[in-house]
A and B are shown apart, each in its own frame.
Chain A
Amino acid sequence: MAGIDKNLRWAGIVLLLAILLPFIPGVSDYRIFQLTLVLVYAIALLGLNVLTGYNGQFSLGHGAFYAVGAYVAAIMMDKWGMPYYATVPAAAVVCLVVGFLFGLPALRLEGHYLALATFALALAVPQMLKHKSIEYWTGGVQGIVIIKPDPPFGLPLSQDQWLYLFTLFVLAILFLCAWNLLRGRTGRALVAIRDHHMAADTMGINTALYKSLTFGVSAMYTGVAGALGAIAIQFVAPDSFTILLSISLLVGVVIGGLASIPGAIFGALFIVYTPNIASDISKAAPWAIYGIFLIVFMYLMPTGIWGGLRKLAAMIRARRNAS
């Protein structure tokens, strides 16, 4: 069990550094806000990674669950005056149920057919949010503006610092849960289904149930991220959740590293910062630059950033042992 202890120790060190980060002098509220977005996307990516990386199901529609989570938070805060922290578990429950229910019929589809079905979901959700019958709740195309929470107990923190710490807290819990889930029986079952569906069946794994549940859990993670994202941005509107969001999430999972938990953080850093860097390089064709970055990353690190780092570490270790 020494390996696990070591992993946990490392995770603890990283967490401690992350807690101290917003208090470094010179880190502005804007930077903290950006880092909050990184944490938010990391949660969403972890959710998608459970589905795609571990269970081998493709989803081009996770932007839809992100949107549902965001709207749950916004409506609860705006219409019912609920506190922001109460919206996070609510978004989790709603998205778990929605994801599970969507998963039941969708899972009859395999591979790229599932990708297409989820793609349809991502296309439909922004339109459905505009529908007249729910306009009272969703605010239609105008969206909902929400108020940024103040730090509790009169803590001497800025709103952005507090929100960062709150998001980090949620992230730590969710990462711990995912780690716990994936390293045991369940994780092995998920991977078995991914690697060989029929073999998993013959081993007595209830593949249909596992796949639906994975879809639900994955949607739940993404929904929580959506809720936290809405609180950080203070605004939700259908235009915020276009198909580009779903594709960015998939890009983040692959770039970060499929089937790796820390990969989610690296993927999130990529999807938050790369568009900015690209548009600094060229205002005329930022997405072309983004594309070049993507190709370079995939070429240099075919197993994602986390996979690349591990390979690098292994090489250094091997060289040290040899000498």
Chain B
Amino acid sequence: MSISRRKLMQGTAAAGVAATVVGPAIAKGKYDEGATDKEIKIGHTNPYSGPASAYGTIGKAIDAYFKKINEEGGINGRKVTFISQDDGYSPPKTVEVIRQLVEQEKVLLVFNTLGTPPNTAIQKYMNAKKVPQLFVATGASKWGMPKEFPWTMGWQPDYNTEGQIYAKYLLANKKDAKIAVLYQNDDYGKDYLEGFHKGLGDAGKKQIVSEVSYEVTDPTVDSQVIQMHSKGADAFFNITTPKFAAQAIKKAGEIGWKPMHFLNNVSASVSTVLKPAGFEFSQGILTAAYLKDPTDKQWFGHQGYLEWVEWMKKYHASGNIQDSFNVYGYTVAQTMTHVLKACGDDLTRANIMKQAASIKGLALPMMLPGIKINTSATDFYPIQSVQLQRFKGETWELFGDILAAESA
């Protein structure tokens, strides 16, 4: 990484010289630490090692996207220096590397740091230092609190909202359902559960006949599935991470349980969840999406998808073209690029937060058609709408309208 960075700096210097010669293109800007006429320094943490290292490809995808931006001339003539550090999903390590990024590398901002515990560990520090902590890679609902934490912002639809959407769809489409819920016993699971309860309302909550949890360290969830089935449930909200999602789908299929099955977006991957669980058991499962699934054939002819494939091949050849994390990294990096462009020549940290909080109707090529990013000074939740999709054959099929928590 350090070699590529040095190369990048040389490139940056060369571009700077070129800009001086051209004349009118020189930026005369207002800057905070980490930004100059030639460069914007962005910090990032990701688990490249350890148990959560499957997410590592997101960091590589973001790096690859900024490479493309730099080759095309940078953002308003400034090259992006993207410094990504491994924190192994360990909060103390995150604190250490973030301090290194802010105090030693002097980055302008920190972007898409991954994981709820790592982000919780640095949130106070970032806000005390007044360094933007933008578009964090976690769906917890606590990242959109501009009053308490004006320097922190989420990105993806939060779990709470998604849970509400499933509940409302369930109430509208299945009379007198007997509901079962399986959730992972941590803040991610509880966030979903809380949203689901909220969406059901007091009357709907009484329809829950079984609510069971599992630990992320458990070997299987087979007994939980049998337990829910035995309570006579005919609707099932499956709040599990990929490994457990596959187990639950498979077990339900094996014991002949066919509820109306909601699967959280976290585990909506065809290649890592539904395929191993068995397509025969996956038919009719419902989930919510906001990004285009790279295995979904309906996008194969679309301009946005083709551009994405071309970028994958040219800049991120080592990445798996079926892995939706690469779509995630690509799209979140585009959001960041959009904000930095909007900043113009005022690359102060305050202006970056101001621009991040004034995105209006931004549609990106790999987001589902109709889903837009909106933020304001009081709304720090960039993506809040999703569309439901149903599994049919070997892929997802979108149906219905774009849903937001308010309208669902």
Contacts and interface: CB of A to CB of B under 8 A. Distances in A.
A293 to B, nearest CB: 15
Interface string A24-48: 0000111101100100000000000
A180 interface: no
Contact of A242 (B90, B95, B103, B215): B90
A124 to B, nearest CB: 10
Contacts of B95: 233-235
Contacts of B91: 143, 233, 235, 237, 239-240
A105 B104 CA distance: 48
A143 to B, nearest CB: 6
B89 interface: yes
Interface in B236-267: none
A283 B125 CA distance: 25
A5 interface: no
Interface residues of A, number: 31
A186 interface: no
Given A239-B90, A283-B1, A286-B49, A28 B104 contact: yes
B341 to A, nearest CB: 28
A61 interface: no
Nearest to B87: A279
A197 to B, nearest CB: 36
A33 B96 contact: yes
Contacts of B223: none
Contacts of B50: 244
Interface in A165-190: none
Max count, chain A CB within 10 A of own CB: residue among B50, B120, B123: B120
A22 to B, nearest CB: 14
Interface in B48-95: 48-50, 84-86, 88-93, 95
Interface in B204-250: 215, 217
Decide if the interface of chain B is mainly helix, strand, loop or mixed.
Answer: helix
Nearest to A285: B49
A194 interface: no
Decide if the interface of chain A is mainly helix, strand, loop or mixed.
Answer: helix
Interface string B292-320: 00000000000000000000000000000
B117 interface: yes
B121 A237 contact: yes
Nearest to A34: B96
A281 B100 CA distance: 17
Nearest to A282: B1
B360 interface: no
A240 B104 contact: no
A130 B86 CA distance: 25
A140 interface: yes
B130 interface: no
Interface residues of B, number: 33
B99 interface: yes
A306 B215 CA distance: 43
A143 B84 CA distance: 25
A142 interface: yes
Contact of B120 (A33, A127, A147, A235): A235
A145 interface: yes
Nearest to B103: A30
Max count, chain B CB within 10 A of own CB: residue among A28, A147, A279: A279
B124 interface: yes
Interface string A129-171: 0100000000011110101000000000000000000000000
B120 A30 contact: no
B119 to A, nearest CB: 11
Nearest to A29: B103
Contact of B48 (A29, A37, A283): A283
A30 B93 CA distance: 13
B217 A127 contact: yes
Task: Across the A-B interface, give the 9 residue pairs with the lowest CB-CB distance, nearest first.
Answer: A30-B103, A235-B121, A141-B186, A239-B117, A30-B99, A237-B117, A233-B92, A279-B86, A240-B91
Interface of A: 28-31, 33-34, 37, 127, 130, 140-143, 145, 147, 229, 233-235, 237, 239-240, 242, 244, 275, 279-280, 283-284, 286-287
